[in-house]
Amino acid sequence: MELLGPSMIDVVNRQKPYKFTLSQVLKFGIQGLESLSSIHAKGFVHRDVKPGNFVIGNTVETSGIFYLIDFGLCKKLKIKDGVVIKPPQNGNFRGTMRYASIQAHKKEELGRNDDLMSLFYVVIEFYVGKLPWLDIFDKDEVHRLKEDFRQSHLLTKQLPEQFLEIERYITSLDYIETPDYERIKQLIRQIANENFIDLDQKLEWENELNGRKT
């Protein structure tokens, strides 16, 4: 059994300001996509993607690897003749309000596209430092803000242009459509190349964490 280390909440709380570098964010984004792609390929939707459900490895070899955990809200997709079937609207909110998709606020059945939207919110929060609805605790108000930011694209206004392309692609997906994970990863790699970032380079906190094990 793999030994796991701190969650991403623990990691970000070690840093001031409470956000990550572009290099860290891009590396996390690719690994997050790979985790979701693996879960989705097995026919499941996570439905609660958030920082606290990503942890890093607890060894020198795995301290740069992100692991997605907590499958308490995970649900199997209904597939018939190789096609995903969307169940009727279930009427219940699923997930964590800050990172929940707009479909979750509408109490619709959550699919692979919703996992991707939650991951997108996490990535934005890690890079910017906080989401616009951080201090709002009313679900309806958070829903309204998410709708406003989606329509205005303000969430990605000061970010590399590929973030807007990723947002547009994710919001174009429906429940049934299989996401093109490689397309999103390619956009992330474009950001890395344009900013001279080596995605194979160690994360900034790896040496700090590994130093405690020596």
**Burial grade of 213 (CB within 10 A; 0-12, 13-18, 19 or more):** exposed
What count of residues does the chain have? 214
In this prediction, residue 8 carries a pLDDT of 73
Q: Average pLDDT per run of 10 along the chain, which is 214 residues long? A: 65 66 94 98 97 86 85 94 84 93 96 98 94 96 97 93 98 97 98 96 69 53
Torsion angles phi and psi, residue 152, rounded to 5: -90, -15
Q: Containing H/E element for 137?
A: none
Helices (H), 13-111: 22-41, 102-105
pTM metric for this prediction? 0.91
CA distance 96 to 127: 19
Per-residue confidence (pLDDT) for residue 203, from 0 to 100 = 77
pLDDT of residue 205: 65
Cα separation, 25 vs 124, whole angstroms: 8
Q: What pLDDT was estimated at residue 141? A: 98
Q: Known catalytic residue: 48?
A: yes
Ordered structural domains, the chain, with CATH: 4-211 (1.10.510.10)
pLDDT at 208: 63
**Annotated active-site residue in 48, 81, 138, 200:** 48
- pLDDT per residue as tens digits for the range 116-153: 999 999 999 999 999 999 999 999 999 999 999 999 99
